[in-house]
Structure 1
Amino acid sequence: MLRTLTTFSLLLVGFRAAGAQAANSFAGSNLYYAAGLYDDDRTTLLEGLQSAGMKVLRVWLDGQSETQKGTNISPFPDLEPTQICDGVASCYNDTVLERLDDFMVAANSYGIKLLIDMHSYNALAAGDVYGAAYGIEDFYTDSDAQSAFDQRLIHVVNHVHTTLGQPWKELNDYIFGFEAENEAMIGDGQTFIEDHQQWQCDRATTIKGQLGGNSGILVMTGGESWMAESVQPDFLSCDALDVISIHAYGTGDYDTSSIESYVSQAQSAGKMLIMEEWGACYFNTSNNDCPTGAPLASDTRNANIKQWAGTITAAGLPWLYWEVIPNADPHWGSDYEIGLVDDPSWSTLQDVAQAALGATAAFDFSPYLL
């Protein structure tokens, strides 16, 4: 049965957020290769997000060299393309940062801020300079790796915007939040994540130390593979973390009552939650196992989007969809994408994103939005 967002249910969400200031929710999207968009596609994307009332776009710093999700891009290298720079300013290749300088100014004009992931597990596992030097376990346990990676984080937040003339850490009108890494530690399994929770807090402490306490920019975790893995007790007790980012594709994690149990934990800890990655599979497979398959009927996929966005919103969580793309969706593997060109699910995603703006949230993100 589809759960609908009635006025009464929205009021109940507000009452359940005991001690939290009533505020409206919001929606947004992810686009990991945003730094590579040509101007026309950037405009198409931002106009589309604005039409849906979306407020945040999450972007990554990993280099990209070829077409992504059917989007032709201008290639750009990794921030540390050939070696770990360990704080040597001349060693970093700032192309991706400078591309995002332009992007964030354009996004601001559409009422959108950027959420910036400063590294990703994907790059580590693919053998970037950190993966080559340390592998996917020692990167999180070796003190030299942590020290060098902290220098990367410091370099990013202190990057001076090429036209605004201010470091990113001062640009709270343009930047929603920073995350040290997308899905840190997921390749090492949930037990490893549980045993090494301090890695997140240490990286957040590095970032917060640069931002200061009243920057107007959030420090976030970058998510894990599912709800229980994403919300760890030591994340909730870490002073430097503002927001716990949830990534979830299993439909059980979209259930309102399940989400509410995590909302209560976060409220008790004085933290905020966001459903930072979720999506509705294009194929007829399990939603969290979406590599290929027969296409779902558009009506079925649209019903899934309506249902799951509704239950996430009803639990009081803002959300970022994985992901809106500025072109027709080529339906490559692991296809959760919704294209802005001729996609029968785009109008549905627009509707549920606009509905989120009118819904009561469990957390007050309003000071961080345009």
Structure 2
Amino acid sequence: MKLASFFASVLFSLASVDTALAAKSFSASNLYYAAGLKDAQQTTLLEGLQSAGVKVLRVWLDGQSGTTKGTPIDGFSGLQGDSPSAYDDNVLKRLDKFMVKAHNYNIKLLISIHSYNALEGNRDFYGKWYGTGDFYTNTDAIGYFKDRIAHVLGHVNPTNGKTWAQSSEYIFAFEAQNEAMHPQGNPTALASWQCTMAKSIKSGLAGNTNILVTTGGGSYLANSLLDQYFSCAALDVLAIHAYGVGDFDTAKLRTYVDHAKSASKKLIMQEWGACYTDASNNNCNGGSPISTSARDANIKKWAAQIDAAGIPWFYWQILPNADPHQGWDYEVGINDVNWGSLKAAGIAAGKAESAFDFTKWLL
């Protein structure tokens, strides 16, 4: 009996150590126009994010101007214009300063190098020359995009005197494109493109494993996680974009968690949100506002379901101002309606157990 008690005590101690060492999850957010924020807006955003336990902010390199989601921004052009050589590094220089400031709030950036939105909207030569179809298969387009990746990773931040590829103190991950080939008319070509660009990012990182390489998600859970992604060695992280309520189901998510772990990949819920109106959550464009308490409950419930699956999440989006409740209304403004619930969910995520250990890549 004494020997049995001894072994039981040892097993209990080992279990306690394992629990203590279990990786914790984290919350994060998106703000695609972050390069346009003025200093006071940056402070409001970063203070709010930090108070909610947010560890990463995902930003884009596409141009923006005017007032976006109620945020009057300092307009900037996209990284590239009407030709492959037409670079405008203003967006990179803006983010140089922003990432340094974010670091002071223990927040890193996830850099989306391009967006399908820009491609579809013909905002640069990629859309004008190749369209949303040929862009992913044309040899010249692929070559030009590899040059874009090299340009971004080779950009030097004057604060630390290092390239972005070396700036792991500021940068959490790079992705080639937000929601690449959104309609996914040719998933085989898309998977090949994703892996090709992931290899290009890895090449630019030149052995630096302190910055991750991720996909930029799809339009829902299943098409965010194409089978071919799990076998692409250059992809460290597979990003989920999901707004349909069924895609927040813990058991459903866990099947992908198991697949990712067996393939030595990590998962993040890179985009999700709770609709402000009674429209279908995956089509939050119109409808009538639901009660504050009902939306609060949705935020807490769905965040908890994602937490329970062991997946860190990025909310779409947290604003430095009151949400103007425009179309596709998932946003939550800091200190505005529903902020208390989202803040509580963000803090809870940081206490939840994660299926993936991101400790090395967080501040």
TM range (shorter): over 0.9
Superposed CA deviations along residues 117-149 of structure 1, whole A, max 9, x for unmatched, are 000000000002100010000000101100001
**2:317 corresponds to:** 323
> Please, what TM-score do these two structures have when normalized by structure 2?
0.93
**2:117 corresponds to:** 122
Quote how far apart the aligned CAs of 1:279 are: 0.1
Q: Does 1:104 align with 2:103?
A: no
**1:42 corresponds to:** 42
Quote how far apart the aligned CAs of 1:65 are: 1.8
Given that residues 137 and 189 in structure 2 are in contact (C-alpha distance below 8 angstroms), is that contact kept between their aligned partners in structure 1?
no
Match among 248, 252, 259 for residue 258 of structure 1: 252
Q: Does 1:72 align with 2:72?
A: yes
> Please, what TM-score do these two structures have when normalized by structure 1?
0.91
Given that residues 33 and 64 in structure 2 are in contact (C-alpha distance below 8 angstroms), is that contact kept between their aligned partners in structure 1?
yes
- Distance across 2 between alignment mates of 1:230 and 1:22: 27
Name the amino acid aligned to 1:108: H
Superposed CA deviations along residues 229-262 of structure 1, whole A, max 9, x for unmatched, are 0011111111110000000000101000000000
For structure 1, the 5+ residue unaligned runs are 1-14, 86-90
Given that residues 184 and 190 in structure 2 are in contact (C-alpha distance below 8 angstroms), is that contact kept between their aligned partners in structure 1?
no
**1:219 corresponds to:** 213
Q: Does 1:184 align with 2:180?
A: yes
Match among 339, 342, 347 for residue 349 of structure 1: 342
> Higher Cα Rg: structure 1 or 2?
2
Once superposed, what is the RMSD of the aligned Cα atoms? 1.3
Match among 327, 349, 352 for residue 359 of structure 1: 352
**1:231 corresponds to:** 225
- Distance across 2 between alignment mates of 1:96 and 1:25: 30
Given that residues 169 and 215 in structure 1 are in contact (C-alpha distance below 8 angstroms), is that contact kept between their aligned partners in structure 2?
no
Match among 139, 146, 153 for residue 150 of structure 1: 146
Name the amino acid aligned to 1:145: A
- Distance across 2 between alignment mates of 1:195 and 1:68: 33
- Distance across 1 between alignment mates of 2:204 and 2:73: 32
- Distance across 1 between alignment mates of 2:327 and 2:84: 32
Name the amino acid aligned to 1:206: S
Q: Does 1:95 align with 2:90?
A: yes
> What secondary structure is seen at the aligned counterpart in 2 of 1:190?
coil
Q: Does 1:31 align with 2:26?
A: no
> What secondary structure is seen at the aligned counterpart in 2 of 1:208?
helix
Name the amino acid aligned to 1:55: K
Given that residues 309 and 355 in structure 2 are in contact (C-alpha distance below 8 angstroms), is that contact kept between their aligned partners in structure 1?
yes
> What secondary structure is seen at the aligned counterpart in 2 of 1:23?
coil
**1:10 corresponds to:** none
- Distance across 2 between alignment mates of 1:214 and 1:127: 34
- Distance across 1 between alignment mates of 2:29 and 2:206: 27
For structure 2, the 5+ residue unaligned runs are 1-14
- Distance across 2 between alignment mates of 1:321 and 1:156: 25
Match among 104, 113, 118 for residue 108 of structure 2: 113
Moved runs in structure 1, 4+ residues, more than 6 A?
none
Given that residues 28 and 54 in structure 2 are in contact (C-alpha distance below 8 angstroms), is that contact kept between their aligned partners in structure 1?
yes
